[in-house]
Chains A and B, each alone.
Chain A
Amino acid sequence: MKLKGNAWKFGADIDTDAIIPARYLNTSEPSELAKHCMEDSKQPDFIRTMKKGDIIVADKNFGCGSSREHAPIAIKAAGVSCVVAKTFARIFYRNSFNMGLPIFECPEAVDGITQGDAIAVDAEKGIIKNLTTNKTYQAAAIPPFMQELIAAGGLMEWVKKKVA
């Protein structure tokens, strides 16, 4: 899978309340959640100005806080192609794999990307290319079991095969 878009830079410890505020959690409809994606972050206009395929690039501990799967759902439904961060909070990391939002851990890429840079990502190889600066970065390898989940088509498909 080749992903391509412009970078939106966010800081450290972006919490799930910034990604999708709890006041909108009276629904789990992806298109409704997407309307409020990153609304309480430092870039509240994100959803109105981002383009389909754009990439969120964030510092450490992205997605900390709540276990709400609504957070990766909102990001994916907004049209964000992937998230690159220095590190991810544990539950967000797990949720993203489960519901199919590509995420990459790569501190060097985060430091080497500025807002608006054109980015291309080879999802299988974890290669992140900054087309604006012409620099290439290698994301941390996806753990083998996670790769198995992805190959199966997500957690529920993997479970279906197991119980079948």
Chain B
Amino acid sequence: MPMTVTEKILAFHCGKKEVAPGELINAKVDVVLANDITAPISIKEFRKAGAKKVFDKTRIVLVPDHFTPNKDIQSAEQSKLLREFAKEHGLTNYFEVGRMGIEHALLPEQGLAVSGDVIVGADSHTCTYGGLGAFATGVGSTDVAAAMITGEIWFKVPESIKFVYYGKLRKWVSGKDLILHTIGDIGVDGALYKAMEFTGEVIDRMDMSGRLTMANMAIEAGGKNGIIAPDDTTREYESGRAKRRPKFYKSDKKAIYAAVREYDCSRLEPQVACPHLPENTKGVSELSHINIHQSVVGSCTNGRIEDLRIAAKVLKGRKVHPDVRMIIIPATQAIYKQAMKEGLFNIFIDAQAAVSTPTCGPCLGGHMGILAKGERSIATTNRNFVGRMGHPESEVYLANPAIAAASAVLGRIGSPEELK
């Protein structure tokens, strides 16, 4: 029976030759992940179940990244729980402040997530690792507690939707724009319970950073996972980095899809998702009347070095508009160091942007850039729900780093092409 890449990974992890959509399986997990918001509940459930040890102390990754460096006493207490649990169980992959990064940028970078893996995380953007050709999906804290004990998790094998991207991308158009455009096309539940498989010549040419961005936002279309079959780009990215041997799977030519959607991307302009759903996408040129108060470049979606380079390219020799606060957040310590080495921080600081230590921070309205009532932010983050970045009457517009940087200079939503 022909299978999709998702089906092949799941079949391997439940010890079967083949699986079909709808089938219920118990899969072995390669990595179990949780953060400072979700792990406390997992730890509580773990203890309540009377568990004495984790299934494998090298395969549980705890990253305090959401409210860190801790913003208040309560969040400090939560991080402390993770720290103590990691010590108690001798977890080898606990990432403390100063050694950490936003989890979904950190795991690929550190080679902890590799092609062919099954990864579950108590964070909805766990689907990011699909960019490497892994099956990765967000689950709740209780699911993570169970997986920490057993090393397994139950899944219903999802149907797959195939997305095919043709053409040549215009300048300033990136993976972020393709995924925003796709969510705008199918809606925030357009891929509910399904695997989103991204394919086509545009994906073939896309760098790993763009692929991770696309897989990252599969959840914003309701998807169970996003996935891109690994290729030479993946091989190159994982070389010298992967902590385990990657396994490359690809979909059979005759694999069965619930739907196939094709996009000619040659004429696509940078996309912006308007409040208050990621599906409210428009071309950037339609939004030049929208003034902004803040611009954020960062997050698990777009806080990688490639994103910072793009922002720097736009900001070089320019100043952030007097009415705008610009906040730039490198997603990991390694990215931070690299950006510093490349002189990007000089460009950012000369442009009068603030540069922060790695944190999820403002993306989920945690800290480091909360909006007041009536304020508006453009952001390279992933969600623009009501109150996502602060006051329930504030607004978030989602875009790529070039648009976020250009808008910061213009004081309104706009593209680098509009800068003098």
Interfacial residues, chain A to chain B (CB-CB below 8 A) = 13, 15, 17-18, 21-23, 25-28, 39-41, 44, 60-61, 64-70, 73, 87, 89-91, 94-95, 98-99, 143, 145, 154-156, 159-160, 162-163
Contacts and interface: CB of A to CB of B under 8 A. Distances in A.
Given A28-B41, A90-B224, A163-B149, A18 B189 contact: no
Interface string B111-138: 0000000000111101000000000001
B24 A145 contact: yes
Interface stretch (B43-51, B229-237, B302-310, B399-407): B43-51
Contacts of B8: none
Nearest 8 interchain pairs by C-beta: A95-B140, A26-B74, A98-B142, A61-B189, A40-B387, A69-B140, A67-B138, A22-B364
Given A95-B140, A155-B143, A156-B45, A87 B365 contact: no
B67 A26 contact: yes
Nearest to B154: A145
B192 interface: yes
A39 B74 CA distance: 20
B50 A160 contact: yes
Interface size class on chain B is 35 or more
B27 to A, nearest CB: 14
B31 interface: no
B106 interface: no
15 contacts: A23-B366, A25-B66, A26-B67, A41-B386, A64-B188, A65-B383, A66-B123, A67-B138, A67-B140, A87-B189, A89-B192, A90-B193, A91-B219, A95-B140, A156-B145
Contacts of B41: 28, 69-70, 73
Given A26-B78, A69-B41, A90-B224, A61 B188 contact: yes
Contacts of B121: 67
Nearest to B393: A40
A28 B365 contact: no
A28 B34 CA distance: 14
A21 B72 CA distance: 16
Given A89-B189, A145-B154, A156-B48, A94 B145 contact: no
Nearest to B124: A67
B366 A13 contact: no
B163 interface: no
Interface string B180-196: 00000000110011000
B222 interface: yes
A155 B386 CA distance: 32
Contacts of B75: 26
Contact of A22 (B74, B124, B366): B366
A25 B122 CA distance: 14
A156 B49 CA distance: 6
B176 to A, nearest CB: 18
Contacts of A39: 392
Which interface residue of B138, B141, B156 has the most chain A CB atoms within 10 A?
B141
B138 A17 contact: no
B392 A89 contact: no
B414 interface: no
Contacts of B126: 67
A71 to B, nearest CB: 9
A68 B144 CA distance: 12
Interface string B342-358: 00000000000000000
Given A17-B385, A26-B74, A155 B366 contact: no
